[in-house]
Structure 1
Amino acid sequence: MGLKLDDKNALMEAWGTLLRSDQPAFTGSGMAGSYDSHGVDCPFVFRHHDRFYMMHVGFDGIGYQTALAVSDDLLTWQHETVILSRLPDSGRWDHVGAAGSWILLNSNDIGDFPQLKKMNGRYWMIYHSYPDEGYEAGGAVMGLAWTEDESLHEWHRWDEPIFTYEEGDAWERQGLYKCCLLEHEGRFWMLYNAKGGSEWPWQEETGIAWSEDLFHWHRYEQNPVLPCLEGSFYSQFCSDPYIRHDGERWLNFGFGFDGIHAQGLLAVSNDLLQWETLEQPLLPHGSTGSLDEIHAHKSCVVIWKGIMYHYYCACRPWRQGDPTSVEVFDGQLEFRCIAVATGTAL
């Protein structure tokens, strides 16, 4: 990489010294039958027609559905509409639910607030879908959705998946997860995490693929490009890439999981293929009682008028009065919400 230790320390200091709010930026409704009755997750923030939007997923005990929230100040958010809903009895591969990961953007620069880019007169979203009912149940595959609707309310889904785990190597052979979609040097690039086992605890690592048209993808032969590292805070998961460019290098605001806590990580690259993950968490889990006591992960980082906003999924043990709760893999009830940390931008 050619980075000196001082450079790494400077990166950690610049990106990791943000003030976390002790109040959620956005929570699930807790209403029975609602898409977000059990919680919300996976923030993706952008600006469209002079409004701030947060695409996110909600979980209702059956599967994920994708929705939009809106904000005037980037700190408090209100639900607007569901854009990828469940399709029961449709016979489709994605009938259980659809988790939106990324909408194609007009710039990769961290200094440019994300705005959507049209291709062939359409906005394009990549999403993943699990085959079975329950929390991320079964091996997910990826699909494309598109819209010409400037309100972003009405989306259409491509009939078939565009990327599946069955075609992958051993490290990804049991299912795909969230991805990041970039356009760079005339190609589309997808960084995605995947799992190599079906029985818990499995490992999740991150790989890369590229395409000329968004529909036909070629995997990098030396995947995974962001592997797990034994003894590190990302020994079990190195997951959920969120990639931006700072003018000198690519930055990945992903997360690591060591079997106990999921924590935000920072990895750097000169070419999207060779990555170095910094040794310490960029966004460590919080103290007892804090919103992110268990996990601080699934990041989205944006800059607006000199202020950096680091959105992430915060998790702590559920307690009486919380609007939502979800049981994940270990049988523990969690309160999952979308939180934000802020600070002066670089």
Structure 2
Amino acid sequence: MAKIVLKACPELFHRCLLLLSFILCVSNTASAEDLVFPKVLTHFVPYQNNPIFEAEGPGHWDVKIRERGWILKEGNFYHMWFTGYDGTRAGLKMLGYAYSCDGIHWTRSPCNPIYKDHWVEDMMVVKQGNIYHMFAEGKHDIAQHLTSTDAINWKRVGPLDVRLANGSPIPAGPYGTPTVWYEDGYWYLFYERRDAGIWLARSPDLKVWTNLNEDRPVLIPGPNAYDQKMIATNQILKYQGVYYMIYHGTAAAQKPSLWTTNIAASKDLIHWVKYSGNPLTPSSANQSSGLLIPDGKRFRLYTMHNQVDLHLPQKR
């Protein structure tokens, strides 16, 4: 029955989520007082020479780039994976790669696109041991898993097997923008469904992911306008004992939608409190798919949809 209502009455589903958001805000008032949003994670100014990376344009494989790309810093070396395509909605979304020694000036791989056997977009990468694990959307926004030993040559494992708390498969339909966190032997998967909420599942072995929080979303849109209609997780990080989620949201009050980059905090990965100073980027800038990347001294904020922009820490 829930599956039928979701498909037939998406607006009713959205209103129910907003009501749940209000209830969660009230119940989490006490915990919100214990959470801190340090300036090093929240106050940034645009780099004066943006964009630092963009599509090569007509005549190239990446006429446009889209959705979340991913930056991973290893030592003094920066990896970047991004999605390129021909600019059409139906065009195959292919994986590109670039590298940098400063996180600002990038060199594209001569092997681009490095993966084009299957649709790959909205990706993120976790390195565990000697293996790079990529979690990305496939066609029809179905979350999938790929692996690599060198960051360039990728093998597709397949779609993620996500289950309800009782062990049965989640209802059919898109489950995208997969964002994974690894800690203490468990993999945690944050995923969205039609951008109407963010769910959390866990796996000990990357094979079966089981929903936590009694199958309820851990974060939903609203109540403020900047993320009132749609949200999706971009990144999870841990700083000074607190988990932080970088996510994007929109009020969807106009077409095309204007997106914002935002932050929320948690002590247990389940109960999240949104930063009262959200959004980190103004809606007029339409900057989404944000990532906080430490450069060795401080955090930088990158936004990655349509083009890659850099935001540097705000000076005191």
TM range (shorter): 0.7 to 0.9
Q: Equivalent residue for 1:143?
A: 144
Cα distance in structure 2, aligned partners of 1:46 and 1:267: 21
Q: In structure 2, which of residues 65, 77, 91 is the aligned counterpart of residue 39 of structure 1?
A: 65
Letter in 2 for 1:259: A
Cα distance in structure 2, aligned partners of 1:340 and 1:310: 6
Equivalences for residues 70-109 of structure 1 within 5 A: 70-80=99-109, 81-82=111-112, 85-87=115-117, 95=118, 97-99=119-121, 101-104=123-126
Cα distance in structure 2, aligned partners of 1:245 and 1:190: 15
Cα distance in structure 2, aligned partners of 1:49 and 1:15: 21
> Would you say 1:219 and 2:211 are equivalent positions?
yes
Alignment deviations for residues 6-60 of structure 1 (CA, whole Å, 9 cap, x no partner): 965xx264433212024201000003350x2123442311134752111222232
**What SS class does the counterpart of residue 240 from structure 1 fall into?**
strand
**Per the alignment, do residues 54 and 175 of structure 1 end up closer, same or farther by CA in structure 2, a change over 3 Å counting?**
same
Q: Equivalent residue for 2:159?
A: 161
The structural deviation recorded for 1:254 is 0.6
Tell me, yes or no, if the aligned pair for 2:76 and 2:101 is still in contact at 8 Å.
Answer: no
**What SS class does the counterpart of residue 167 from structure 1 fall into?**
coil
Q: Greater helix percent: which structure? A: 2
Q: Equivalent residue for 2:274?
A: 277
Tell me, yes or no, if the aligned pair for 2:250 and 2:260 is still in contact at 8 Å.
Answer: yes
Equivalences for residues 185-224 of structure 1 within 5 A: 185-195=184-194, 203-220=195-212, 221-224=214-217
Letter in 2 for 1:122: I
Tell me, yes or no, if the aligned pair for 1:25 and 1:76 is still in contact at 8 Å.
Answer: yes
**TM-score, with length taken from structure 2:** 0.77
Give RMSD over aligned pairs: 2.7
Q: Equivalent residue for 2:292?
A: 301
Tell me, yes or no, if the aligned pair for 2:136 and 2:143 is still in contact at 8 Å.
Answer: yes
Alignment deviations for residues 266-325 of structure 1 (CA, whole Å, 9 cap, x no partner): 1111100111122442322265xxxx3xx11111111113132111135xxxxxxxxxxx
Equivalences for residues 334-345 of structure 1 within 5 A: 336-343=306-313
Q: Equivalent residue for 1:26?
A: 53
Q: Equivalent residue for 2:246?
A: 253
> Would you say 1:175 and 2:174 are equivalent positions?
yes
**What SS class does the counterpart of residue 96 from structure 2 fall into?**
strand
> Structure 2: which 5+ residue stretches go unaligned?
1-27
Tell me, yes or no, if the aligned pair for 2:67 and 2:121 is still in contact at 8 Å.
Answer: no
**What SS class does the counterpart of residue 190 from structure 1 fall into?**
strand
**What SS class does the counterpart of residue 225 from structure 1 fall into?**
coil
Q: Equivalent residue for 1:54?
A: 80
Letter in 2 for 1:25: I
Q: Equivalent residue for 1:236?
A: 229
Identity fraction in percent? 14
The structural deviation recorded for 1:164 is 6.0
Letter in 1 for 2:310: V
Tell me, yes or no, if the aligned pair for 1:308 and 1:344 is still in contact at 8 Å.
Answer: no
Cα distance in structure 1, aligned partners of 2:35 and 2:270: 20
Q: Equivalent residue for 1:200?
A: none
Cα distance in structure 2, aligned partners of 1:164 and 1:4: 30
The structural deviation recorded for 1:243 is 0.4
Q: In structure 1, which of residues 114, 122, 125 is the aligned counterpart of residue 134 of structure 2?
A: 125
Cα distance in structure 2, aligned partners of 1:345 and 1:266: 20
**Count of aligned pairs between the two proteins:** 274
**What SS class does the counterpart of residue 204 from structure 1 fall into?**
coil
